Structure 1
Amino acid sequence: MSTTMTLPISLPSLTPCEALADVVHRAVTGIDTPNKPLFVSAFTPDAVFDVAGTVVEGRDAVTAYVYDRIAQLDTTHLFTNLRVSLENGAATGTVTAMALGQHFRVGEGNAGGSARQFMTGVLYYVDCVRG
């Protein structure tokens, strides 16, 4: 029996605000599962990703810089305090969120106290465009 669950990219009944929050959830769940199509679905072709002053431009470059490096690890990202700003009928909006991420070497995520981990905490600012 397979333990891999198929995750849909599109969820049919989201409100516009929930759809913006889902952009963040798709990117992070794509990394943690690892599910590259789910991760990629969160970015426009001209996406810009700024990590502590390192700016990566374009969906393919973001995927190489973020997904290809992190999805190979055992990771868990927890998001909270999501705030969505979206004017009625607007094509663009913003999401802010706080996150904690645990990163372990491949196969060490369930090793318990003996595994070395890298814990991060970050505040995300996300500009979204309705697709």
Structure 2
Amino acid sequence: MTAPVKLAGSPAEKEAVADAIYRFGLSLDTRDAELFDSCFTDDGGIELLGERATGKQQLRDLCYGRVADLDTTHLISNFRINIEGSKATLTAIAYAQHFGKGKGMVEGSKFLLTGSVYRAELAKDTADDIWRIKDLVIDLHWSDGDFAVMQDK
């Protein structure tokens, strides 16, 4: 996906689009499955570290099921959003800190900190008047720490 130089959409509508990504990060950090499900269209998908999930159950298995039990913080910023009618594209930068469950406040705990670029296609759900993720590619650019933390539940 190539990002356009000039972006379309009002500031208010762009904030509504960004909210889908904010809901995604917050749902993982607060272990909120209902909020997680609200982020995606019924056929929504994620690509992460070469794995692909499509549909609510696969999304829960690949992403929510692996991350929500950990102590995490997802910081997402530097949004660029382009809106064309009821469709939008988005890029953002994300830092994600991961610790084993219950170990986030334990000094010296092993951790995994990642830096990623998020690339998303979104669609407006006119029934609920909210934006949902149709496709999210999480492009990991760097990491620090231990990937074994992801199995430390």
TM-score range for the pair, normalised by the shorter chain length: 0.7 to 0.9
Residue 73 of structure 1: which of 65, 70, 74 is its match?
A: 70
In structure 2, the residue matched to 1:36 is 33
* Structure 2 letter corresponding to 1:107: G
Write the distance in 2 (CA, Å) between the matches of 1:48 and 1:34: 19
Contact 1:104 1:118 in 2 (8 A): yes
1:68 CA drift (Å): 1.0
TM-score in terms of structure 1 length:
0.83
Determine whether 1:54 maps to 2:48: no
1:15-65: CA deviations, max 9, x gaps? 321111000000110000111111110001101211133211112211121
SS at match of 1:130: strand
In structure 2, the residue matched to 1:116 is 110
In structure 1, the residue matched to 2:79 is 82
Write the distance in 2 (CA, Å) between the matches of 1:110 and 1:130: 38
Question: Identity of counterpart residues, as a percentage?
Answer: 34
In structure 2, the residue matched to 1:92 is 87
In structure 1, the residue matched to 2:124 is 130
**Number of paired residues?**
115
Q: Which structure's relative contact order is higher, taking Cα pairs within 8 Å and 6+ residues apart? A: 2
Which ranges in structure 2 are unaligned for 5 or more consecutive residues? 1-10, 126-153
Write the distance in 1 (CA, Å) between the matches of 2:62 and 2:95: 19
Contact 1:49 1:56 in 2 (8 A): yes
Q: Displaced runs of 4+ in structure 1, greater than 4 A? A: none
Write the distance in 2 (CA, Å) between the matches of 1:116 and 1:101: 14
TM-score in terms of structure 2 length:
0.72
Write the distance in 1 (CA, Å) between the matches of 2:12 and 2:58: 30
